[in-house]
Chains A and B, each alone.
Chain A
């Protein structure tokens, strides 16, 4: 094996990452559905020829896919082996959530890259398609008890042979979606991205030769592993435990615990999820692959310098009980996987808050709030508006939490409201920060948001929601308080209703004058709120991030009628609390 000097390695690392970045950009620009085009629910990378392990990943890709796609490539490698192994010119497609992680909407295209007749590596493209059948437009079916209610499931199959798309497969896909044209556009975008990645990689191989590039890829893996070992070694040895809860599974209204026991010993880490809930009836199950992928996401946020490479998982062992909510297999429903992975990530953060409080943020808002509103416009023209919503990030050792950010699993931007109003017959009535939603703290949690959506005149629709954190709000750390829980309501201004499962709603009829209103959680607070300066609290109140009542209750700060700090009353309040 060629050994590379560190300088050449640094050069090649940049070149390889650029290839993946450019694949990301190509799909984003040519995709049809806003979840890919605007929200960047996509990922591209290079994967190991034999193991499928992640070698290089684009920086714009969705963080959760970074971990999950390696499992998807492995699934293709196995399927491919049964059919005589990979061949030049072929591309595989599938969306099976048990083999590749995540959920049915995420379509993976996986292509072998050959050099001089030998398999060199795999490249893959993942994108979230808008609708793939199932009971609920957009796929987030809060009442699914079986994966078949969530949409069409495609095992790994050859989509392209000798560079030609198999029309039989695209015909099957088209027949199983409410928005076949959108999916067709996205599929073409993914093929564009793979074509480009293959071309760029070939040019790089021509320039440096297979041996040098293979050595670079191997060195990058080793380097990621050694960086992660160094990070783990810097943590105090010990056993840290955390638990958090999902509200319910949408079918049975019982809290579902996620339990994590993290053991740090030297430069190794063990993550043990024993004691987490059993597999549930509703769509909040995830597969073992997804569980590992989301731990990877959590660790990447805690150690941002460790590169996106499968090597960073080498020093970590996982215990995920089979049949638990984190180790599901077919046909357990998995459509709400986003909620469960966010809670798993929260438990990792919570363990770190004990072991390394100078590194951990308080909990981010922790729910994707997949809201689908759909109806018919005129005769036979279906519309489906589907969107994920934002919330506050946790207070951190340096600053307040970010107002209205995205979840740790995603870097997706929210579609502009004006794009949604131009595309669908909806009328937003509010798009605002939500007061008192951030957890109190020395560094306050970021504010969540309020989104209120009605319909244009003469339009009726149905709404579906899959969200969480309605009963168990995002926690604070290091003495900080928890954020406000998620809240969903619908109806007229003077006649609001909340669904029995709090953040999960199925087929709510929306008529004239009615709206749906989503109030998302903020982030948890970091540090003792009574240590926040009274002036900072007064500014929070003046700007409406915090109410005067909450200032008094949570921060022990009293304000004068003009909004300035009542120093004497504040001293009395703060003194009394000690």
Chain B
């Protein structure tokens, strides 16, 4: 495919690719095994599978290399230079603990205490510098860290958000002799108040810099070796794309790269299909990831804890994860209540039916016993068949006998409890934030999401379920359609009453200019560049704030306009305004988005000529609501546009199974999506 743009999503087991020829509007998908430790080989093999590297215009990559390095604690050995008296900020956290109840467990920070060095310097909250740095002391600290084997160094000084001068001076000293580019400071990474969150984000950035840098280097070398002449980009946790140069500087922004790309694709697919409001549900082996898209826009979170104490604060697509996946273990607790998860058999040893040695039943085992999964054609391609008898025995022993239910009834109970947990996660994101579920469609992706979609739309009163044509490559598709994006934040701590709006406007304009430059330097074709402003605002005395979109160009900033925007946002969040109490502007944010050319998703539609009858594969017994039903089975990808399938039915494709419950019907839309709703 000459001139194509390729999205590449490297997961733990498979590397998924989606190649789009923007001129002809044609596409190809591919799935190749991932090669852990030698991702470049799998990456190139995948590119070959979609038509070769040499002529590609661009490659956009959603990666979990950063996420995995954090979860498995395989980042680099790094040093941290802190203000004298404050090297333990990183380890002391916010004085939290792992769980509300139970006092067990400890915490090991990513920088050991002897690699956290203190230097004399101090800035106050108003930006006053009490004591500047001593260059010789900074140099000695840096050299000591190098001698101790540090590959990267982070500088995080108290109140550096208010005045970055000391940090910048320290960094310039370090850059004189540090042997690589991996020197960062907190005011560059996150100039925002709250020392732990800023220090943690900065330290995790340094922790990832050598790992992500080396990974990108290997990929770039491999691409160059294959005569790749196009642009190579990375998806950020905010769902936007950045250059590899930016990714090397800010690797902490890749923590949710892959899942964020999936949400971006979901938004585009759903909007094209006429569903601007969707909830995505990605059911994997150990977890169910949910996100909400309203009016075509994903919702965002300001920070995330990747694990206890590993806090990253940067705007990211909000993805809520609960421990309920195909491998989640089912048990009856001492109080007689059926529990599904959070403990998981994962993909190894996996569910009982995999025959990998686990004998405790999982959600997948329940789906198998109910006939919803095809025992002869397991998805993913790793196994020849599934052991349904073993699954049934395990469910009988661990659940059925404890609850006085037969094995099939017990399997149904497991699916109901799992559905309830998934519904709970969706409810938290939607109904409990004031969104009416009847307006939303559910978009399941991953291999298992569409097994439960029908039950979830019934439980939650959702309008429909929208199953994309290729649920398994959603993230790769997202890479191709994601916009370029750069976020810039700055704590300002200003009082709204009597604010100098002209100088605030100038400040915003400077930030906007910088963010624009980052976007323009990306080298990808853009159809436009938008800049938005937001402020975190609160009543004086409150420490939490509401995110206020500032509906104005920087030049139009005025006290009255900002107040109006604040009161609108505050009223939406809480019932009562508090007149008479001064309003504060804590932090301002600039978001620059470079719009990519629109992709016509109709390219995904099935080709003409297929028929409903030709897609029919037969039928099998499937258990629904207390009894066996004969369900029609179809080859999903062979269904033509406009085909309508009434439940009970099972639609199968290589990487996913879709259950159409009794009382529901699924129709193929003009993009090849399945739209499932009440018959």
Contact = CB atoms under 8 A, between A and B. Distances in A.
Interface of A: 6-7, 9-11, 13-15, 18, 22, 26, 28-34, 37-38, 59-60, 63, 181-182, 184-185, 188-189, 191-192, 195, 200, 223-224, 226-227, 230-231, 300-301, 304-305, 361, 364, 390, 393-394, 396-406, 408, 411-419, 421-422, 427-433, 446, 449, 452, 456, 542-545
Contact of B543 (A34, A59, A195): A34
Interface string B196-227: 11000000000000000000000000000000
A414 B88 contact: no
Kindly name the residue among B97, B193, B420 whose own CB sees the greatest number of chain A CB atoms within 10 A: B97
A492 B333 CA distance: 58
A10 B432 contact: no
A393 B104 CA distance: 8
A30 B103 contact: no
Contact of B539 (A9, A185, A418, A446): A185
Given A414-B94, A418-B125, A14 B420 contact: yes
Contact of B125 (A9, A397, A405, A422): A422
B624 interface: no
Contact of A405 (B96, B338, B421, B493): B96
A405 B543 contact: no
Contact of A431 (B86, B197, B541): B86
Contacts of A396: 103-105
Contacts of A195: 575
A189 B85 CA distance: 36
Contacts of B413: 6-7
Contacts of A32: 539, 541-542
B102 to A, nearest CB: 4
Closest 9 CB pairs of A and B: A413-B94, A543-B113, A304-B101, A390-B95, A430-B85, A304-B102, A414-B95, A422-B125, A11-B420
B375 interface: no
B114 A542 contact: yes
B91 A399 contact: no
Nearest to B102: A304
A223 B336 contact: yes
A386 to B, nearest CB: 13
A224 B104 CA distance: 22
B107 A403 contact: yes
A28 B97 CA distance: 18
Nearest to A397: B104
Interface string B37-79: 0000000000000000000000000000000000000000000
Interface residues of B, number: 67
Nearest to B413: A7
Contacts of A403: 91-92, 106-107
A37 B544 contact: yes
23 contacts: A6-B337, A6-B338, A7-B413, A7-B420, A14-B420, A14-B421, A182-B541, A224-B335, A230-B334, A231-B334, A398-B105, A404-B91, A406-B95, A411-B96, A412-B95, A413-B95, A418-B158, A419-B543, A421-B159, A432-B87, A432-B88, A452-B85, A456-B124
Nearest to A300: B101
Contacts of B196: 416
B161 interface: yes
B392 interface: no
A401 B124 contact: no
Nearest to A430: B85
A222 to B, nearest CB: 9
Given A185-B578, A427-B124, A406 B97 contact: yes
Contacts of A31: 542, 544
Nearest to A412: B95
Contacts of B113: 433, 543-545
Contacts of B337: 6, 9-10, 13, 223
Contacts of B573: 29-30
Contacts of A14: 420-421, 424
Interface string B127-148: 0001000000000000000000
B297 interface: no
Interface string B544-585: 100000000000000000000000000001111010010000
Contacts of A300: 101
Nearest to A361: B103
Given A182-B541, A431-B85, A432-B92, 16 more contacts: A7-B338, A181-B581, A185-B541, A188-B576, A223-B335, A226-B335, A226-B336, A402-B97, A403-B91, A413-B94, A414-B94, A418-B195, A430-B85, A430-B86, A431-B86, A446-B106
A452 B86 CA distance: 11
Contacts of A431: 85-86, 88-89, 92
Contact of A301 (B102, B106, B493): B102
A7 B416 contact: yes
A412 B92 CA distance: 14
B613 interface: no
A544 B95 contact: no
A18 B428 contact: yes
B106 A399 contact: yes
Contacts of A402: 97-98, 103, 105-107
Contacts of A30: 542, 544, 573-574
Contact of B95 (A401, A404, A545): A404
Contacts of B493: 422
Nearest to A31: B542
